[in-house]
Amino acid sequence: MQNVFTLLSQFERHKSLTQQLSSRVIKIFIAQFLNTGIIILLINAKFEGVSFWQGRFSDQVPLWYVDVGAVIISTMIINVFSVPVAKLSGLIIKMMLRCCDRKCGCDPRVTRKKTQKAYENLYTNPEFLLDFRYAQVLTLVFVTFMYSSCMPLLYTSALLQLIFSFYQDKYLLLKTLRLPKNYDEKLEYIVR
């Protein structure tokens, strides 16, 4: 999904990188919000007078919380752990590939790579994707506020995810990932 929206925002030919990233933030956020918060609601909704749409619930009755609410809460709790694990697993795989390249030694000058470009591709860490992180946080906040009035456990899962994400991003930015490019304040205003 991220690659598709990257290509779409490049195809739009924005005048600046900040405008391109702002466009990508909005697209990723809308897709994630629809996927996480709206589709589950629509699938289970029963609309009167619409014969082809036969969901189970015409309102948020107690059984709705057992079926649909439990899925939403479990999705948000899974996101607390899956987002950090997904980020860290990519770095661990890259470290294992580097170890194999060095013949399991510690000397970074020993390599099996034949060209400088291949060596740099393996030993250069990826850039921190600020736009993707903004979209994740926006999705978290919107889904939490949409359903938390009837499911207060979402506040706890959102708090945990924000705490884990803060410390993980802090570690990744300071220790492993390349710093993102300098953006102007327009990207921040789009998120607000």
| The amino acid at 61 | V
Closest CA to 157 of 84, 83, 76, 85: 76
The pLDDT of residue 11 is 67
- 140/127 Cα distance (integer angstroms): 22
The CA distances from residue 54 to 35, 61, 147, 187, in Å, are: 20, 16, 22, 41
Residue 156, token pair as written in the block: 């706890």
Average pLDDT estimate for 80-96: 81
Position 80 pLDDT exceeds 80: no
Position 191 pLDDT exceeds 80: no
What does pTM read for this prediction? 0.78
The pLDDT of residue 47 is 73
The pLDDT of residue 159 is 92
- 85/71 Cα distance (integer angstroms): 21
Q: Cβ contacts of residue 184 below 8 Å, gap of 6+?
A: 16, 18
- 176/168 Cα distance (integer angstroms): 11
Higher-pLDDT residue of 126, 167: 167
How does pLDDT run across 132-163, given as a tens digit for each residue? 888 888 999 999 998 888 888 889 889 988 99
The pLDDT of residue 7 is 64
- Give the highest mean pLDDT range of 55-59, 79-83, 112-116: 112-116
